[in-house]
Chains A and B, each alone.
Chain A
């Protein structure tokens, strides 16, 4: 990691900026915040996530029907969309991002709630899971990428795609049709069948489709799904992981950053 330390700086500054603007309206954690959070939650989120946050709202079943995903159970589930290491809780910023952007196909963007309301609802949903009180989730820090992809880099990314068996789930060309996927072996933690993302369609990426987003997804994995975290495999080899990112981008004809 020491090699790329300098490259963290840019990212950290950007993250710091985001944090401070969003933090500006983040209300203190008190009774009023929770009461407001609850009101918003019950009018906006409970339809899918359930009034008690258990992911069993009256509309939630139809989203996946007999397959994944179900709305998140805030009482006991882990989280998919994080900047933290696999197995950890998300940061407040991560939650803020999900609620702001929504999740393609299954959950709308809540830009229509003002920022303060989004923070209030976050405080409320965190109150269900005691682990949020005990742990202080820390985001992994990521180096910024090299200037842009090279022909050779993309080729190397392709080799990594093969080497790390991404093909087994996502298919040889990223169409989501790998042998594990077509055989129906992929399951989420609830044993519900889950599809391997079609990597040629970045608009369906839940965690964002910018190079930085994809890099983060590969480092953190998507907890609760078969999508592994590759932080260990690529520890100290971030350059190589970037090449894999560029390769994934090239699958949908996107080059550069």
Chain B
């Protein structure tokens, strides 16, 4: 490992341990991230179980980090900036450290020697929790909010800004027009939010010399790219597991959203640069998306929603033709729903992807449609024990020689030692037959993880 990475790793370890220790040593009511601190609330005022939001948390998010039904501008936001103290800083800043301390992947057959992990059949390792994120968010003043998240991911050896945006709320009237601009996650307010999963993302593994997936990623597959052999505009391969388009972790653009007729209906319209494009992209056009959401959230400890989106890409990906690269339009349509009743939180999404504008020459070797389904259920079996299940299915598209459809079932038990400190054990199982090929994603038979999730 290059020394630069070693240094980053050491720094992160230090930071993480520090945050872990401080998280363990403070009072419950304060041992919680930014918003909870700011409003002296426990995490579960807004979350069913972090990072999943309950209805109150969803409306808080929609209102630009202000209490629903108010334009609080943040309790500290009312002070002028010169008066900000360390406490105020803590009211705006949170950290989360999460990941696996143990991971174990079991294969029917893994890859030939040229693959980057050699011929290992089964593979267990201890590690340090991979993902450390620092976020700062809140409302600066009445109806103007911000969010920035810096994430350091050891598994991917990457550190960078995940999401960063400004929010402008209640323009023209209560919940009429809310704007987000910057690097946003379009699905944040959808019935199925990409980033709010109890079963964390587990990265896929790609053979660096052949660019072939050799170990399936464990993702909510409805949110994933689902195509093999698709490239982004700078030429790098888009992993079929990468959350993308409407379900991206973050894309650059602007969005307008509101509930003009009351709580039961939400609209959302957005304009983005496109898959993995930053500001000042070379795109000919922008990607657009629109979504609607219907809600019922009134009494009986019950809430439900149903939403649908259409995402229309505009030269937002490329494919390799025999002679070079060609731009294609990558679209996605999806529907999602959630139902929550007391301890149960059930949510799911179905998506359908289509590639339009394919060069005819490439059509014989490329499947232009793909679909995905994710269904998740979280339930508190006791006050401190959360059981989560997820079913994922991908009917993959893209390069016919590589494309593999797959279905996984994941199961996780999470034990909250305190409201902000949890340990978990998880297992994922492949529900399809192994393929036994050289670089077959499906050869991953099952996987086991144990880890921690600390938020402070």
Contacts and interface: CB of A to CB of B under 8 A. Distances in A.
Interface in B2-38: 27-30
A129 to B, nearest CB: 17
Given A59-B54, A61-B342, A104-B40, A43 B29 contact: no
B69 A63 contact: no
A204 B29 CA distance: 7
Main secondary structure of the interface of A (DSSP, over half): loop
A193 to B, nearest CB: 9
Interface stretch (A49-57, A212-220, A233-241): A49-57
Interface stretch (B100-108, B275-283, B294-302): B294-302
B68 A47 contact: yes
Contact of A44 (B29, B49, B67, B382): B67
A201 B40 CA distance: 14
Q: Number of contact residues on A: which range applies?
A: 35 or more
Contact of B75 (A59, A107, A109): A109
A50 B41 contact: no
Interface in B52-71: 54-57, 59, 66-71
Interface in A86-121: 102, 104-113
Given A58-B302, A62-B48, A106 B41 contact: yes
A62 B419 CA distance: 12
A44 B70 contact: yes
Interface residues of B, number: 43
B380 interface: yes
Contact of B27 (A40, A51, A52, A203): A203
Contacts of A182: none
A51 B302 CA distance: 11
Residue in A40, A58, A111, A113 with the greatest tally of chain B CB atoms within 10 Å: A58
A58 B44 contact: no
A65 B380 contact: yes
A58 to B, nearest CB: 4
B42 interface: yes
Interface string A55-73: 0111111110111000000
Nearest to A45: B69
Secondary structure dominating the interface of B? loop
B52 to A, nearest CB: 10
Contacts of A231: none
B322 to A, nearest CB: 55
A46 B302 CA distance: 12
Nearest to A108: B39
A247 to B, nearest CB: 21
B183 interface: no
B70 A112 contact: yes
Contacts of A42: 69, 263
Interface in B171-191: 174
Nearest to B382: A66
Given A108-B67, A111-B75, A51 B29 contact: no
B303 interface: yes
Interface in A123-178: none
A48 interface: yes
Contact of B41 (A51, A108, A203): A108
Contact of B40 (A40, A44, A102): A102
B45 A63 contact: yes
B436 interface: no
A65 to B, nearest CB: 5
Contact of A110 (B55, B67, B299, B342): B67
Contacts of A104: 29, 40
6 contacts: A40-B69, A44-B68, A47-B59, A56-B300, A57-B298, A204-B29
Given A44-B67, A54-B299, 4 more contacts: A47-B68, A57-B299, A57-B301, A102-B39
Interface of B: 27-30, 39-42, 44-49, 54-57, 59, 66-73, 75, 174, 263, 297-303, 340, 342-343, 380, 382-383
